[in-house]
C-alpha cells in the first residue's frame, strides 16, 4: 500500500519538477525515487496486510512482483534519457506516464477486490495507449495507438461484463468472499460465464492465441521504447494478474478448464514461433516471440498451488532478457527508419560488446544454459510434468527448438555479414542498462533458488 | 424499487444488457468509421453499467452502484485518449476511416 502511494507521489513530483523548469534533473530524481520505492516495497515483503476493507491485499506475491515491475521501470526510465533526447520539452510527460503506468501495475497485482483489479488494468492500459501513439507525426505510431486502443478497450469491455456477471451471481466484489461463496451451494449460470469473460479479456491483454492478432502490428508501429515496455512490463503484469486471479478465485481448477489452458498454451507457442520464423522486422519478431512466451507462462496456471515461484522466475528471466535486447535495438535503430534485420549486419565487428549482449539475451529467451531462460524453462517443464501434462511439455520442448531458428537468424546477421556503415558511438546509459540487465539475468541463472524460494 | 424489479425479473435485465452489449460488439467489428466504433465501445460499457445497477438493486447492495461511477470515469478517460489519437490520425491522413490504416502488415 505504501509502495503504491509512494509511486503516485513520485509521479506527481515528476510533473511538479517541470513547473520549476528542472527537466534535466527529472530522470536522475525519478531513478533515485524508484530505488527508494523499491526499498519500501522490500520492507513490505514480510508483513502481509490488507487495506481499506480488503481493497488492496499486500502479501509476498504482490510485493515480489511489484519489486520486479519497479526494477523494469527503472531500466525503462533510464533508457528514456537518450530516446527522448529530441523531445526535451515533453520529457516529464513521458516519464510521469510511465510512473503512473507502474502504479496501475502495482494495483493490478495487489488487488483484493475486483474494483481495484479493473482500475489497475485501466490505468495501465490508458497509459499504454498514450505511449503507443506518442510519436504523433508518424502515421505508423498513430495506427499502432488506434489499434491498441480499440483492442484494449474492447477487452476492457469484456472484462467489465465478466466482473458484472460475477457480481450478479455473488453480490460482492471481494475476491476472498467470492472464492468462499463459489465453493458452496449451486450457483447461477452467469457465474461461470463471468469467469470465462474475465479470462478471455485477460488473454487479450497477455496476447495469447487466438487473441494475439493485435500484438505484432502494435509492437511494430509503436516507438521502440514503448515496444520494450509492452513486451516486458505490460506482459509480465498481465500474466501475474491472471495468475493471481485464477489462484484466488477458483483454487481447484476443473479438468475442462485445464484442457482449455493446455490448448491455448500449445496454440500460442506454436503460432508465435512459426510466425516469428518469417519476420524481417526485429520488433515484429520479438512480438511473436512474446506470444510464444505467453504460451509458456500460461503453463504455470496448470498447477497454481505451488507454481508462483516458477512464474516469478520465468517472468524475471524473460523480462530482463527483453530489456537487454531492446536496449541494443534502441542503440542500433536510433538513426534508422525501421528495425529490419539488415540494420544489425556487422554489429559483431562494429560494436562487439553490444552484439554480445544481444546474443546473450536472445540465447536466454531461446533457453540455452547458463542464462536464466534455460533454468526458467527447466523448472517450468519439471513442474508441468509433475502436474501430469507430459504431452504439453513435449510440444513446449519442440517449440523451444524451433525458436532457436529465428533467434539465430539475427545472431548470424550480426556476426557473419559485413557492416553497412561506420560505427556509431554508444551512449553510456544504454551501455549501463544493457550490461546490468544481462548481468542480472546471468546471476538469476547462477543462483536460481534465490528467486524460486521467495514465494515458497 | 424492489417491486418493479420483482415484476420485471432480473433475467430480463440481463437479456437487455446482453443485447446492448452484442450491438456494441458488432458495431466495433463491422463499422469502419472510427467515431462510430468509439460509440459502439461506449454502448458496450454502458450496457454493463445498466446491468451493474440492476444487480445492485437485486442484491440490495450499494457496491454495484459505486462501481458504475468508477467505470464511467474510466470510460471518459479512455475516450479522451482515443479521441486524441483520432485527432492526430486525422491530421496525418485527412480521414478517420479505419480501412485507410494499413501500413502495418506482415
8 Å CB contact between B63 and A173: yes
Q: Judge: A136–B88 Cβ closer than 8 Å, yes or no.
A: yes
8 Å CB contact between A264 and A392: no
Beta strands A56-58 and A49-51, pairing class: antiparallel
8 Å CB contact between A315 and A397: no
- Domains of chain B by range and CATH? 2-97 (1.10.287.3510)
Residues in chain B closer than 8 A to A160 (CB atoms): 45, 48, 71
Number of A–B residue contacts, CB under 8 Å: 123
Assess whether A246 and A265 both reside in one domain. Answer: no
Locate A24 and state its grid cell: 534535466
Across the interface, of B25, B81, B88, the residue whose CB is closest to A142 is B88
- Structural domain including A295 reads 254-456
The beta strand positions in A314-379, using DSSP E, are none
Count of residues for chain A? Answer: 456
Q: Judge: B14–A153 Cβ closer than 8 Å, yes or no.
A: no
Residues in chain A closer than 8 A to B86 (CB atoms): 146
Assess whether A397 and A284 both reside in one domain. Answer: yes
Cα–Cα distance between B81 and A97 in angstroms, integer? 13
Count of CB atoms situated within 10 Å of the CB of B25: 19
Give yes or no for A113 touching B (CB within 8 A). Answer: no
Boundary of a domain, candidates A252, A274, A301: A252
Cα–Cα distance between A338 and A336 in angstroms, integer? 6
Cα–Cα distance between A106 and A121 in angstroms, integer? 10
Cα–Cα distance between A319 and A23 in angstroms, integer? 29
Cα–Cα distance between A207 and A230 in angstroms, integer? 11
Backbone angles phi, psi at A57, to 5 degrees: -115, 115
Res A314: pLDDT: 95
Assess whether A286 and A206 both reside in one domain. Answer: no
How far apart are the CA of A365 and the nearest CA of chain B, in angstroms? 22
Number of H helices, E strands in chain B: 4, 0
User: What per-residue string of b and e applies to A35-62 under the rule 16 or more CB within 10 Å gives b?
Assistant: eebbebbeebbeeeebeeebbbbbbbbb
For residue A57, what is the enclosing H or E element?
Answer: strand A56-58
Q: Judge: B52–A167 Cβ closer than 8 Å, yes or no.
A: yes
Backbone angles phi, psi at A51, to 5 degrees: -125, 150
Q: What is the pLDDT of residues B22-76, one digit of tens each?
A: 999 999 999 989 999 999 999 999 999 999 999 999 999 999 999 999 999 999 9
Residues in chain A closer than 8 A to B21 (CB atoms): 157, 161
8 Å CB contact between A169 and A188: yes
Locate A326 and state its grid cell: 531492446
For helices A308-332 and A60-83, angle between their N-to-C axes, nearest 10 degrees = 0
Picking from A323, A267, A275, the residue whose alpha carbon sits closest to that of residue A299 is A267
Cα–Cα distance between A131 and A325 in angstroms, integer? 20
Residues in chain B closer than 8 A to A161 (CB atoms): 21, 44, 47-48, 51
Looking at the structure of chain A, the number of domains it has is: 2
Q: Judge: A168–B14 Cβ closer than 8 Å, yes or no.
A: yes
Assess whether A248 and A302 both reside in one domain. Answer: no
Assess whether A217 and A81 both reside in one domain. Answer: yes
Assess whether A281 and A308 both reside in one domain. Answer: yes
Q: Which of A161, A162, A227 to mutate to test the interface with B (most CBs of B within 10 A)?
A: A161
> How far does Cα A377 stand from its chain's mean position?
17
Assess whether A260 and A213 both reside in one domain. Answer: no
Q: Averaged in consecutive runs of 10 residues, what is the pLDDT profile of chain A (456 residues)?
A: 93 92 88 95 88 90 94 94 82 93 95 93 95 90 93 94 93 89 81 91 92 92 93 94 87 80 94 92 93 94 86 95 93 83 85 92 91 92 92 94 91 86 80 94 90 81
Assess whether A181 and A311 both reside in one domain. Answer: no
8 Å CB contact between A364 and A373: yes
Boundary of a domain, candidates A206, A224, A252: A252
Give yes or no for B97 touching A (CB within 8 A). Answer: no
Assess whether A203 and A292 both reside in one domain. Answer: no
Cα–Cα distance between B86 and B49 in angstroms, integer? 25
Q: Judge: B74–A129 Cβ closer than 8 Å, yes or no.
A: no
8 Å CB contact between A221 and A140: yes
Q: Judge: A146–B101 Cβ closer than 8 Å, yes or no.
A: yes
8 Å CB contact between A2 and A77: no
How far apart are the CA of A90 and the nearest CA of chain B, in angstroms? 16
Residues sharing a CB contact under 8 Å with residue A39, sequence separation 6 or more, in sequence order: none
Q: Is A174 helix (H, G, I), strand (E, B) or coil?
A: strand
Q: Judge: A146–B47 Cβ closer than 8 Å, yes or no.
A: no
Q: Is A56 helix (H, G, I), strand (E, B) or coil?
A: strand
Res B106: pLDDT: 58
Assess whether A236 and A355 both reside in one domain. Answer: no
How far apart are the CA of A169 and the nearest CA of chain B, in angstroms? 9
Assess whether A65 and A36 both reside in one domain. Answer: yes
Res A435: pLDDT: 95
How far apart are the CA of B2 and the nearest CA of chain A, in angstroms? 16
The answer on pLDDT for B103 being more than 80 is no
Cα–Cα distance between B38 and A78 in angstroms, integer? 35
Asked if the ipTM is above 0.90, the reply is yes
Residues in chain A closer than 8 A to B95 (CB atoms): none
Assess whether A206 and A310 both reside in one domain. Answer: no
The answer on pLDDT for B1 being more than 80 is no
Q: Which of A146, A215, A223 to mutate to test the interface with B (most CBs of B within 10 A)?
A: A146
Residues sharing a CB contact under 8 Å with residue B52, sequence separation 6 or more, in sequence order: A164, A167, B64, B65, B67, B68, B71
Res A399: pLDDT: 94
Q: Which of A146, A156, A157 to mutate to test the interface with B (most CBs of B within 10 A)?
A: A157
Residues in chain A closer than 8 A to B17 (CB atoms): 164
Res A324: pLDDT: 95
| C-alpha distances in Å from residue A211, one per residue of A201, A204, B17 | 9, 5, 24
Cα–Cα distance between A38 and A71 in angstroms, integer? 8
For helices A175-183 and A139-170, angle between their N-to-C axes, nearest 10 degrees = 50
Q: Is A339 helix (H, G, I), strand (E, B) or coil?
A: coil
Boundary of a domain, candidates A252, A279, A314: A252
Interface of A with B in 115-154 (CB under 8 A): 115, 118-119, 122, 125-126, 129-130, 133, 136-137, 139-140, 142-147, 149-150, 153-154
Sign of CA dihedral B75, B77, B82, B86: positive
Sign of CA dihedral A84, A85, A88, A91: positive
Locate A193 and state its grid cell: 460465464
Q: Which residue has the cell 505508423?
A: A140
Give yes or no for B42 touching A (CB within 8 A). Answer: no
**Residues A29, A35, A41: CA angle, nearest 5 degrees:** 135
Amino acid at each position: 500500500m505504501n509502495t503504491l502511494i509512494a509511486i503516485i507521489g513520485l509521479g506527481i513530483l515528476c510533473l511538479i519538477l517541470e513547473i520549476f523548469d528542472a527537466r534535466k534533473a527529472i530522470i536522475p530524481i525519478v531513478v533515485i525515487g524508484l530505488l527508494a520505492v523499491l526499498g519500501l516495497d522490500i520492507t513490505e515483503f514480510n508483513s502481509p496486510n490488507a487495506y481499506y476493507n480488503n481493497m488492496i491485499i499486500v502479501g509476498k506475491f504482490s510485493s515480489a512482483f511489484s519489486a520486479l515491475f519497479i526494477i523494469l521501470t527503472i531500466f525503462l526510465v533510464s533508457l528514456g534519457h537518450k530516446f527522448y533526447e529530441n523531445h526535451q520539452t515533453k520529457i516529464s510527460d513521458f516519464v510521469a506516464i510511465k510512473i503512473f503506468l507502474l502504479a496501475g501495475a502495482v494495483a493490478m497485482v495487489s488487488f483484493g477486490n475486483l474494483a481495484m483489479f479493473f482500475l489497475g488494468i485501466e490505468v495501465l492500459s490508458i497509459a499504454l495507449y498514450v505511449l503507443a501513439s506518442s510519436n504523433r507525426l508518424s502515421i505508423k505510431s498513430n495506427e499502432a495507438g488506434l489499434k491498441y486502443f480499440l483492442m484494449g478497450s474492447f477487452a476492457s469491455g469484456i472484462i467489465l461484463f465478466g466482473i458484472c456477471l460475477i457480481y450478479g451471481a455473488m453480490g460482492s466484489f471481494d475476491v476472498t468472499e467470492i472464492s468462499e461463496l463459489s465453493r458452496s451451494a449451486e450457483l447461477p449460470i452467469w457465474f461461470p460465464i463471468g469467469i470465462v469473460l474475465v479470462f478471455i479479456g485477460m488473454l487479450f491483454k497477455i496476447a495469447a492465441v487466438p487473441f494475439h492478432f493485435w500484438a505484432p502490428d502494435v509492437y511494430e508501429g509503436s516507438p521502440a521504447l514503448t515496444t520494450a515496455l509492452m513486451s516486458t512490463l505490460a506482459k509480465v503484469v498481465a500474466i501475474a494478474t491472471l495468475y493471481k486471479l485464477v489462484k484466488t478465485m477458483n483454487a481447484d481448477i476443473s479438468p475442462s478448464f485445464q484442457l482449455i489452458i493446455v490448448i491455448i498454451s500449445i496454440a500460442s507457442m506454436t503460432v508465435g514461433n512459426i510466425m516469428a520464423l518469417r519476420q524481417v522486422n526485429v520488433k515484429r519478431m520479438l512480438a511473436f516471440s512474446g506470444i510464444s512466451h505467453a504460451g509458456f507462462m500460461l503453463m504455470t496456471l496448470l498447477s497454481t498451488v505451488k507454481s508462483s515461484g516458477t512464474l516469478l522466475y520465468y517472468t524475471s528471466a524473460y523480462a530482463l532478457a527483453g530489456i537487454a535486447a531492446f536496449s541494443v535495438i534502441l542503440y542500433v535503430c536510433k538513426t534508422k527508419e525501421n528495425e529490419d534485420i539488415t540494420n544489425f549486419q556487422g554489429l559483431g565487428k562494429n560494436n562487439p560488446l553490444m552484439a554480445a549482449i544481444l546474443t546473450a539475451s536472445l540465447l536466454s529467451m531461446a533457453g540455452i544454459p547458463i542464462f536464466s531462460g534455460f533454468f526458467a524453462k527447466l523448472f517450468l517443464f519439471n513442474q508441468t510434468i509433475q502436474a501430469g501434462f507430459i504431452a504439453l511439455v513435449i510440444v513446449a520442448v519442440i517449440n523451444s527448438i524451433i525458436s532457436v531458428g529465428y533467434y539465430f537468424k539475427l545472431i548470424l546477421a550480426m556476426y557473419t555479414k559485413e557492416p553497412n556503415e561506420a560505427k556509431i558511438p554508444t551512449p553510456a546509459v544504454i551501455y549501463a542498462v544493457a550490461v546490468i540487465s544481462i548481468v542480472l539475468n546471468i546471476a538469476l541463472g547462477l543462483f536460481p533458488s534465490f528467486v524460486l524460494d521467495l514465494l515458497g | 424499487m424492489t417491486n418493479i424489479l420483482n415484476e420485471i425479473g432480473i433475467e430480463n435485465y440481463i437479456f437487455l444488457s446482453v443485447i446492448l452489449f452484442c450491438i456494441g460488439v458488432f458495431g466495433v467489428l463491422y463499422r469502419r468509421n472510427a467515431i462510430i466504433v468509439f460509440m459502439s465501445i461506449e454502448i458496450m460499457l454502458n450496457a454493463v453499467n445498466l446491468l451493474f445497477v440492476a444487480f445492485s438493486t437485486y442484491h440490495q447492495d450499494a457496491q454495484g452502484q459505486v462501481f458504475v461511477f468508477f467505470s464511467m470515469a474510466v470510460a471518459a478517460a479512455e475516450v479522451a485518449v482515443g479521441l486524441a489519437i483520432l485527432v492526430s490520425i486525422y491530421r496525418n491522413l485527412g480521414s478517420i476511416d479505419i480501412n485507410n490504416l494499413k501500413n502495418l502488415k506482415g
